[in-house]
Structure 1
Amino acid sequence: MLKDHGNNHREITLQHGKLHVFANDEVYENLGHKVYEMADNNLSIPRNVYMSYTPDAHVGIGTCIGTTAVWNMKDGFVSPSIVGSDIGCGMRVHLTPLKKEDIVDKKLRREMIKAIEKYVPANERGATHYQNIRVEKIVSEGIHGLPPQYVPDYYTPKNRRSLTHVEHDKFTYDTDYLDTIPDKMWSRAWQQVGTLGGGNHFVELQHISIREENREIAEKWGLFDGQVVVMIHSGSRAWGGMLGPKYTKDFRAAMEKWGVGTADPNLVFAPIDTEEGQRYLNLMYSALNYAVVNRHMIAYGVREGLRDVFGSDMETPVLYDLMHNYALKEFHRNQPMLIHRKGTTRALPAGHFLNREAYKETGHPALIPGSMGTSSYIMVGETSGEKNFYSICHGAGRVRSRRATKELVSVDQFAQSMKVGTEEEVLVNQRTLQSILDECPQAYKDVDQVIDSVVGAGLASVVAECKPMAVIKGV
């Protein structure tokens, strides 16, 4: 049964519960039947309070990317499948004093790419440059666990943006659970601090254009037309990557013991108050700490690279850092709830009590990447976003698999979308486009349709559009 609420909001009654879908007509009509099968499996987890898809929704393992799923803390469930494998994966944007015209020269942009790569390892396994960072400190204390030399504003306590302009600078949890982590995991995680990783992770140099209706907010955030910003997408690397499979296995064993399950063997869950649930939640927080620090250190490396090109006076203050793969206790409807966001971004409006102090007045920046060759967006939440627990999209969302992309899209088509050979060419760090073909714009939904869906649903509005100029991709 379908109930159309208007404004890009549909409510679909499935066998096991109700699914809310936020998408315009074009996006909605192309979602495909599989996402509804996965939603119904998720809704079969007992006592679900709410579940929705944002317009970037697409098939994942156990749960679609683009899912928000909510349970009450007192009697609810936690699911690693509805968190995702890259725990704490998220976005970060840093400001620069540069303007588009300052870096329009291709030779200069190539120099910038090379300089950043010197400090930011962009291969899948990674090899950290920061050997004095202790993993046990950062997974326990977040950014506070870093040596002061890596926190650029450590010595300016009245303006410590590194700690105040991030969604979370530290997650507190029972660190006794760290005793269960094997030695090899500590070692590999140490090797990857400040590294980009592969897949859809990136560092991108962009120039922005301000939306007139939100110009006042943009100016308060320090944005201006033509400004060059740095957008970063990465996660918890090996730390979160090894937690996911291990605890999926533990959950599956517990579910067999309890005699529960769903039609999808990849969907695992446990009551929040069980030993399995508590162990996962506590160690998930350790991965969230790692993820925030990892993006912080990538940004630190970007600043060092830009200083090599533009001089030691170059400063790149953080605009915001936020996640899109996690389960977090939040207060909604005057009670504590566990909000799972798998590939969805929190977008709080002005005045919301969960905003960091720096963004109480305006609401915080919600950072939405597109794909290589397409725009990304900086948005701000609207009060009407409460209907979706203040969740919006996390990006464009894949429209086809990596294998299908390689079979259906040619390198020439990829090159055309990147404007190769023109003055507007989006430069990349990889020697050939073939090596990153599975990340081409044709692999993703039309990000403008995704953003139109979010805006039309009243979940958030656009503050600035960000157009790519240079991309550093991991392989």
Structure 2
Amino acid sequence: METQINPSGEHARYQHEVELPGGRLRVYANEEQFATLDYKVLDMANNNLHIPNIRYMSYTPDVHVGVGTCIGTTAVWQEQGGYVSPSIVGSDIGCGMRVHLTNLHKRDLQSVELRRKLVRRIERYLPMEAHQRGQFSDIRLEHIVRKGLHGLPGKYLPDSYTPRKSTALTHVESSRFAFDESVLDAIPDATWHRAHRQLGTLGGGNHFAEIQAIEIAEEQREIAEAWGLYDGQIVVMIHSGSRAWGGAVSQGSTAGFSRVMRELGLGTADPKLLFAPLDHPEGQRYVNLMYSALNYAVVNRHLIAYAIREAFRDVFGTKCELPTLYDLMHNYAWTEQHDTEGELFVHRKGTTRALPAGHPDNPKPYLGTGHPALIPGSMGTASYLMVGQPGGAENFYSICHGAGRIRSRSATKRVVSVEQFARAMNVGTEDEVVVNHHSLESIIDESPQAYKNVDEIMDSVTGAGLAAVVAKCKPLATIKGTK
């Protein structure tokens, strides 16, 4: 392996090129984070680079090992002659972030007991346990997977909550993904039933809803104010995906892709790395089902926010507003237009699209500023609202999607004590990050000690010229679900 560091430019030390037997890998990381990469992530990159016709591949600084492909990967093919890989989309298709603004200030939630009251109220509206059924039995799932947010009954769109500024369909990366709906005919009844039960639920693992207070970055204050942000403002950040629907699409693709790979003589050293030509019927079938899962995912986050909005109104009154700041994904693949490159098929697995001001793919409300890029930290640490920079074009406008794990769940449970976790959450102080679990031990595998230092990740992304920080979001309360 030969490593080359970009020799010139102000962002040079944050951009690394690694020559592997399969091809060239770009890594965006400061020198400290780059030095922590181990052979596993490079070995996984090498396998990915052996997929035919790959045009480009990169890692963001939060990169860590996944199944078949690392989380933190951007991989690009030309549309013509391209490939699609469920492994480079990820099992939780459409997993992503959502942020809602409020008209509250952090002083309104200064009391730890009030934060606990709000968390308890959220639990009344938002199912937490695997056996609980969501409250949305009047929503038809077939409308959701076909039409995305446009498939919701009118009462679930927040016009009645934000009469002066409706943002439900406009302040999102996409409100509907169109696809060939005939692929839905093969979905088993059991999947429809299970996915409908899980609609509007967080799920387990690193998924969460968090109540945060923001601090605006002075150099980006103009953009922050254009987005409706102010210092001390309370916001709600949500991280979830496509639940049982996306899981079924991912699991259901394994046999078909394996068969196609055998028939076409395709493969790498990793048998778990699945891929097929984009124009093959199996590839097209997966792409269409993937888009149905993207529809499910954006609606799922929307309904989680709907439930949280009800809780806020119970506690703070009907004048409490929660307009959407933005909703975006970090596990997907789709076609993009990139200047002289033409149509490209871009995979993002644990990476976030961050477009700068003026880019035509920005939603209309954000054309003049660039859209918000939503980057969560770990429990007890800050999250960030960012905006893409023109320099991001060299990485197809991909940035990190979070802090990135440094320890497995089992390893975290072995080496991190409940006392260490409690200190990280400021338990027993006025700055305590309130959680909805009665025992920290039950969620210790999600403690900050399981993750990289998010500030190092931010340094890497901003130092590389990919994006800029608009606001820092400090946690006040975190809501975690189960599988």
TM-score using structure 2 length = 0.97
How far apart, in 1, do the equivalents of 2:129 and 2:386 lie?
Answer: 30
Q: What pairs with 1:47-446 in structure 2 (closer than 5 Å)? A: 47-124=53-130, 126-153=132-159, 159-334=165-340, 335-446=342-453
Aligned to 1:2: 3
How far apart, in 2, do the equivalents of 1:12 and 1:151 lie?
Answer: 47
| Residues 323-348 of structure 1 deviation map (CA, whole Å, 9 limit, x = unaligned) | 00000110113411111000000000
Partner residue of 2:467 out of 445, 460, 466 = 460
- What letter corresponds to residue 331 of structure 2 in structure 1? N
Alignment of 1:12 with 2:13, yes or no, is: no
Partner of 1:285, secondary structure, is helix
Q: Is the 8 A contact 2:298 2:327 kept in 1?
A: yes
Partner of 2:19, secondary structure, is strand
1:111 CA displacement = 0.7
- What letter corresponds to residue 116 of structure 1 in structure 2? I
1:31 CA displacement = 1.4
How far apart, in 1, do the equivalents of 2:131 and 2:349 lie?
Answer: 24
Which is worse superposed, 158-167 or 38-47? 158-167
Q: What is the identity percentage for the equivalent residue pairs of Structure 1 and Structure 2?
A: 61
- What letter corresponds to residue 431 of structure 2 in structure 1? E
1:2 CA displacement = 1.9
How far apart, in 2, do the equivalents of 1:371 and 1:471 lie?
Answer: 10
1:158 CA displacement = 8.8
| Residues 369-417 of structure 1 deviation map (CA, whole Å, 9 limit, x = unaligned) | 0001100000000001000000000000000100000011011110010
How far apart, in 2, do the equivalents of 1:157 and 1:196 lie?
Answer: 27
1:157 CA displacement = 9.7
Partner of 2:307, secondary structure, is helix
Aligned to 1:449: 456
Partner of 1:31, secondary structure, is coil
- What letter corresponds to residue 288 of structure 2 in structure 1? N
Partner of 1:164, secondary structure, is coil
| Residues 306-333 of structure 1 deviation map (CA, whole Å, 9 limit, x = unaligned) | 1111112211000000000000110113
- What letter corresponds to residue 384 of structure 1 in structure 2? G
Q: Is the 8 A contact 2:165 2:323 kept in 1?
A: no
| Residues 250-276 of structure 1 deviation map (CA, whole Å, 9 limit, x = unaligned) | 101211122211000110000000011
Q: Give aligned pairs, total.
A: 475
TM-score using structure 1 length = 0.98
| Residues 8-48 of structure 1 deviation map (CA, whole Å, 9 limit, x = unaligned) | 00111110111000000111111111100000000000010
What stretches of structure 2 of length at least 5 have no aligned partner? 7-11
